[in-house]
Amino acid sequence: MFNLAQRSSPILAGLLIISVAIYAPQVAAHDKARALERKVQELENMLRAVQSELQQVKADSKAEAERVIQVQDTAIKARDTAIQAKEQATSTAQSVDLVTERVERKNRMLFFRGGFTHAMERRDGSSIRSDVAPVGAQDQADKNGWYVGAGFDWSLTRDAWGMLPGAQVFAELMFEYKNFSNGVLGNALANNPTILAGGALNPRSVTVSQFTLTAAPKIKFMEGSRIRPWIIPMGLAMHVVSPTTESITYLVPGVMFGAGIDYNIWKDFFIGIDGRYQLTAGKSDGVKVDGMTAGGYVGIGF
């Protein structure tokens, strides 16, 4: 028994050495494989972490870009709002300046006129020429003369009641005195003493004149400008003639037409030129007072 055990021990030892020699490399290879697998897993985990960080960076960049775009949009809107506010402020300031200018210049004007007048026909009358008593000098006045007058404008609307922007309508009331002659020799009734009573020929000088009162609408264009043309489409005129007609008529109605230009020289002071034509319905007891005037004027706003 003892001998058998002694003989088998070397065999067992050899088998053990052979087993170790056979299985040791497999164990080492398995350990290496497991270590490599762990490293691969770690690399995958690191790659996932890097990908996650890249995605986060992309998300942050997108959010930042959106914030930048939003800030730019806000800045653009703020700029547009500022521009609109500036334009509104400028428009308001211009409106205020225009209103201030209108208030400063007022909308009424007192004017004084003067110039040349011309009658369409020579004047006849009871103390100049007479068909009833055709004796004496029987002189007539000249057609040309001079005139002076005054009047005022009163604003009614700035835009012709919405029909014509920039066309301001005024009501004009005006009077004028016309002088055609101061030395016209009269007929028998203007003789001193009268020839009808047997007196010698001694005619007296007669002043031929005319007083005119008119009321008319006046349309002035180019509101706000220093130069403003205007027209009177038609107005009412009342003429008082002196001397009277043979039938002692001295009042003759008619119509008036006119046109002119205002020029604002300084503050509320104006100068201008105008022309007017007076028209009546034929003769009144042998006297025709149709005529025209042309001259200048000085105006003061009030």
pLDDT at 95: 61
Domain that holds residue 153: 106-301
The domain boundary residue, chosen from 78, 105, 132: 105
Residue with tokens 């009808």: 196
Q: How many whole angstroms separate alpha carbon 170 and alpha carbon 157?
A: 7
The domain boundary residue, chosen from 73, 105, 137: 105
Q: Quote the number of domains for the chain.
A: 2
Same domain, 85 and 125: no
Same domain, 98 and 131: no
Same domain, 20 and 122: no
Nearest alpha-carbon partner for 142 in 172, 162, 119, 163? 119
Same domain, 174 and 83: no
Same domain, 66 and 177: no
pLDDT at 178: 97
Stretch 197-223: mean pLDDT: 87
- The CA-atom distances, in angstroms, between 300 and each of 106, 141, 258, 260, 262 are 10, 35, 20, 16, 11
The burial of 89, by beta-carbon neighbours within 10 Å (0-12 exposed, 13-18 middle, 19 or more buried), is given as: exposed
Question: Would you give the distance in Å from CA 228 to the centre of its chain?
Answer: 14
Same domain, 110 and 232: yes
Q: Examine the pLDDT at 196 and tell me if it is beyond 70.
A: no
Same domain, 203 and 258: yes
Q: Examine the pLDDT at 274 and tell me if it is beyond 70.
A: yes
**Percentage of the residues of the chain whose pLDDT score is greater than 70:** 77
Same domain, 246 and 268: yes
Q: By the 8 A CB rule, do 300 and 110 touch?
A: yes
The pLDDT tens digits for 76-135 are 887 888 888 888 877 766 665 555 455 445 689 999 999 999 999 988 656 666 666 666
Q: Examine the pLDDT at 160 and tell me if it is beyond 70.
A: yes
Nearest alpha-carbon partner for 257 in 282, 275, 281, 283? 275
First to last CA, the chain: 157
**Percentage of the residues of the chain whose pLDDT score is greater than 90:** 38
The pLDDT tens digits for 26-44 are 656 667 777 777 887 888 8
Q: By the 8 A CB rule, do 252 and 275 touch?
A: no
Same domain, 229 and 113: yes
The domain boundary residue, chosen from 74, 105, 136: 105
Question: Would you give the distance in Å from CA 254 to the centre of its chain?
Answer: 37
Q: Examine the pLDDT at 59 and tell me if it is beyond 90.
A: no
Same domain, 131 and 68: no
Same domain, 75 and 128: no
Same domain, 71 and 113: no
Q: How many whole angstroms separate alpha carbon 100 and alpha carbon 224?
A: 11
